[in-house]
């Protein structure tokens, strides 16, 4: 993540002290001005290096991160905030990629087995000193149950980044996204990056279909609605399996008709992103192919027109 050397912290912490050093030396001992400049450049360079965000992730090595905060969203869903080693540290996670969480968990036969699962943070490298995970705990979910059982102060083991998808500005003209449940996390990461990039010329259009069982299951709805309200290039379409009375969004499973109505038509500069339960992804791969999109591979690659996280 690039950061301007004209940022306030560099002006206050480097350039002003350097200027004061030179002015002070010129007043007190003008002959030492060259040495003062050399000292100032050396110390300033060191300070700039120390102020740069430090990437933490290691792709081949698990590291432990402490749980600092837990925000309960529902009976089985929460946002977990984990601390990074320093206030200036960042994960170092490219937009669209994810992390692996590993834990040695007891098995029914009495043995212990290492279980590893992938998660996409809802935070980004613009958030220094911590990262946030949105996790829904399932009765059979090994890692999700493990994370839900953590108390503040306990740690998880993380490595990364991993994943075949890396977002770059204007990589396509229009994204069509379909997410189910916690499959919203990689979509939100990409949407936020696009909207952040508007000032720098990111013109990508996004239409997102977000499918859930009930209205209470819609995760991060306030965040999504706020993003859609402030950015005319992002639209979100909700679909519920069990809608309440008066519901005006989609009803049932995501259908070919919904994809045709809300998502972009097949084109070379259009990409469909999918994330959700396996049966849903399998059905959507067939639907997109029937509508003229290129057939999705069993394991998605970045260049695919239909990409499943």
CA distance 96 to 162: 9
120 is catalytic: yes
Choosing from 77, 98, 237, 238, the catalytic residue is 98
Q: Would you say 236 and 225 are in contact if contact means Cβ atoms under 8 Å apart?
A: yes
The one catalytic residue among 10, 25, 77, 120: 120
User: Which residue among the candidates 25, 77, 80, 119 is catalytic per the annotation?
Assistant: 119
User: Is residue 288 annotated as part of the catalytic site, yes or no?
Assistant: no
Rounded to whole angstroms, the Cα distance separating 176 from 81 reads: 29
- The kind and range of the H/E element at 73 are none
Both structure tokens of 174? 């229009």
Number of residues that this document lists for the chain: 309
How far apart are alpha carbons 167 and 171 in whole angstroms? 7
Q: What residues contact 26, with CB distance under 8 A and at least 6 apart?
A: 33
| Nearest C-alpha neighbor of 167 from the set 285, 53, 307, 294 | 307
Which DSSP state fits 151?
Answer: P
* Catalytic choice (146, 182, 204, 275): 275
CA separation for the pair 25, 36 (Å, rounded): 7
Q: Please indicate whether residue 253 is annotated as part of the active site.
A: no
Residue entry with tokens 């450049």: 41
Which residue is it, tokens 């992002």? Answer: 234
- What residues are annotated to the active site? 98, 119-120, 275
């Amino acid at each position: 993540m690039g950061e301007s050397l004209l940022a306030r912290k560099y002006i206050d912490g480097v350039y002003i002290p350097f200027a004061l050093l030179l002015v002070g030396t010129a007043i007190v001992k003008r002959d030492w001005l060259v040495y003062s400049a050399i000292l100032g450049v050396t110390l300033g360079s060191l300070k700039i290096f120390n102020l740069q965000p430090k990437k933490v992730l290691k792709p081949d090595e698990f590291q432990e991160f402490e749980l600092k905060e837990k925000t309960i969203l529902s009976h089985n869903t929460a946002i977990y905030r984990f601390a990074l080693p320093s206030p200036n540290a960042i994960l170092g996670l490219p937009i669209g990629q994810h992390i692996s969480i590993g834990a040695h968990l007891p098995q029914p036969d009495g043995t212990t087995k290492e279980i590893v699962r992938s998660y996409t943070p809802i935070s980004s490298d613009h958030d220094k000193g911590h990262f946030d995970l949105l996790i829904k705990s399932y009765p059979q979910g090994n890692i999700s149950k493990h994370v839900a059982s953590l108390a503040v102060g306990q740690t998880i083991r993380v490595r990364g980044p991993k994943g075949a998808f890396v977002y770059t500005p204007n990589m396509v003209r229009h994204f069509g996204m379909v997410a189910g449940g916690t499959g919203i996390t990689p979509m939100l990461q990409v949407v936020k990056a696009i909207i952040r990039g508007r000032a720098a010329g990111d013109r990508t259009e996004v239409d997102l279909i977000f499918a859930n069982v009930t209205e209470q299951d819609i995760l991060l709805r306030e965040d999504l609605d706020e993003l859609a309200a402030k950015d005319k290039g992002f639209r979100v379409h909700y679909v519920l399996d069990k809608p309440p009375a008066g519901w005006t969004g989609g009803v049932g499973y995501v259908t070919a008709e919904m994809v045709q109505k809300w998502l972009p038509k097949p084109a070379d500069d259009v990409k469909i992103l999918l994330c959700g339960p396996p049966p849903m992804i399998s059905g959507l791969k067939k639907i997109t192919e029937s509508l003229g999109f290129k057939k999705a591979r069993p394991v998605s690659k970045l260049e695919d027109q239909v990409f499943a996280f």
